[in-house]
Chains A and B, each alone.
Chain A
Amino acid sequence: MVILESVSKVFRQGREEVPALSDVSLRIEKGECVTIKGPSGCGKSTLLGIIGTLARPTRGEVSLDGTRVTGLPEHFLCDLRRRKIGFVFQHFHLLRGYSALENVGLPLVPQGLREAERNRRAMPLLEAMGLESRAHFPIHHLSGGEQQRVAIARALVLSPELLIADEPISNVDADNAALIGNVLAKLNREGKTLIFTTHIEPTGALTPTSTYTLAGGRLT
């Protein structure tokens, strides 16, 4: 389902070139649960960004579901992300000034859905996360664990096949880490492909089918 062939990524800062990934090849099948480990700054997030089409590689090829995404125009990549990929970020990245429910409905905006329809589709996901009583709370009134569950609900609102989570349990306490781990594991059992990075051992039911380690921009 996800294929990376000899992918490299170099960041340029002025004249200086900072290599982030070097010659990474990877193949992830549908329904797999893959974790990518490595120390801070080793390029895990960059790799997830490239898999999730958030960044383009400097060299190499990326394919999703048999579609070569490397040369696709940007608006096709947006469309692809909307249809196929859900993101969960380490720092949740929920939008302040919106309620939990409105945050979950944000990916539906480009489809032109009205707020009522967006909320109608978002509510069951918040319920599934046990947050129905918090649905109309401003996002900054929620705890870290609750915010992360809102972020997962947001990632799921368009029923993507691929879920990409960048350090999903690093910024929450142990109880919430276990809870979020269970939620992600359940989604994986339901058939979603899960790729996540972590620098701590996942707990609870979240057991990866494959584990890769990234060091110095290379995958082992």
Chain B
Amino acid sequence: MIVNGLVVSYFLISLLSVVVILPASLLALYVGLRRRAERSCEEQSREENRAYLVISLLWLGFLVRLLLIPLWFLTLQSLISSVPGAMCLAGLHLLDLPVSYVDTLLKLFLPLLYLYWLVLDALDRREPSQPFFRLKLILLPALALLTLAEAGMDFHFLMHIEPSVVGCCTSIFDLPSNGLLSAIRQNASSFLPLLLQSMAILLLGSALLRRPTSRAVALAAAVALAGLLLTLHTQVAPRLLEAPFHQCVFCLWQSFPDVTVASTLAMTGLWLAITCGVLPRLDAYPEAGRLARRLGWLGLALGVAGVSEVLVRFATSR
């Protein structure tokens, strides 16, 4: 393990994220399991106060998760010079496969799960009957487990970073082979517009519906999200979009900060739209339903804007 200032800082903030989510989830489990339909006002007050602590901790946890993403990449960046052969983040990830990639992916995905919980909470507090109360409190331990797993993988990965020789990303991503994939690549120019047009039709269809349901919004968002992931995928994107093959997602995000911002915006927005769309029994709760629809549209708008920016960047830098 190589210890530098960033590694120490990263561990400190990572520890904070665990310290925040663990009591929150235990408390949530306690409240969720003890909740009874008939309870005294004092019990209700105690329960609500505990729920406020859980919500506050989750908000803090969410913000800490957002801090951890750039901190993680900065930390890895600072270690590249200590690992002979590694020229970028991809090289470092080779030191602890597959934990490294799972860890990095989880780091990007966890804030979205936190966001889902916070959306669920916002919807829940719109209704006096608090329909999602138990669901959101029971979901928390799963979130805590994932956070713990991620912290464990952080430790595992950083422990494995040592001054040993690794191949750089050129050794991972070779030129595309001939055959089927190559054939797809040759047809990329027709495949890409098809993909974009499908997305556009779906989005337009949702917008033209007089009162689009949250599910329609979620479907459109899911298509856009799939498009985004294909756009960013290291080996698929070059074939579909005729992007420079060697541009792995790390290079892409480092070389084009606007793509980083747009990807973040798109993932967050589309995730918001999807989660608001798939919530159960929303029709039965008018206030929560209204908020979910608004959040869904906001998410879709953010998502489409983000995806568009990524696509435009690809189109102009090809």
Contacts and interface: CB of A to CB of B under 8 A. Distances in A.
Interface of A: 56-59, 70-76
Contacts of B130: 73
B44 interface: yes
Nearest to B133: A73
A58 B40 CA distance: 7
A56 B128 contact: no
B128 A57 contact: no
12 contacts: A56-B44, A56-B45, A57-B41, A58-B40, A58-B42, A59-B40, A71-B41, A71-B44, A73-B48, A74-B45, A75-B125, A76-B128
A56 B42 CA distance: 7
Contacts of A71: 41, 44
A72 B40 CA distance: 12
Nearest to B41: A56
Main secondary structure of the interface of B (DSSP, over half): helix
A71 B130 CA distance: 12
A73 B42 contact: no
A57 B45 CA distance: 11
Nearest to B48: A74
Interface of B: 40-42, 44-45, 48, 125, 128, 130
A199 B44 CA distance: 33
B41 A58 contact: yes
B2 to A, nearest CB: 48
A58 B45 CA distance: 11
A2 B130 CA distance: 25
A13 to B, nearest CB: 14
A192 B152 CA distance: 61
Nearest to A62: B41
A70 B42 CA distance: 11
A73 B132 CA distance: 13
Q: Which 9 A-B pairs have the closest CB atoms?
A: A56-B41, A74-B48, A76-B128, A56-B45, A75-B125, A72-B128, A57-B41, A73-B130, A70-B41
A58 B46 CA distance: 13
Nearest to B130: A73
Contacts of A58: 40-42
Contacts of B44: 56, 71
Contacts of B41: 56-58, 70-71
Contacts of A72: 128
A73 B125 contact: yes
Contacts of A76: 128
Contacts of A74: 45, 48
Contacts of B40: 58-59
A71 B47 CA distance: 12
A20 to B, nearest CB: 13
Nearest to A76: B128
Contacts of B45: 56, 74
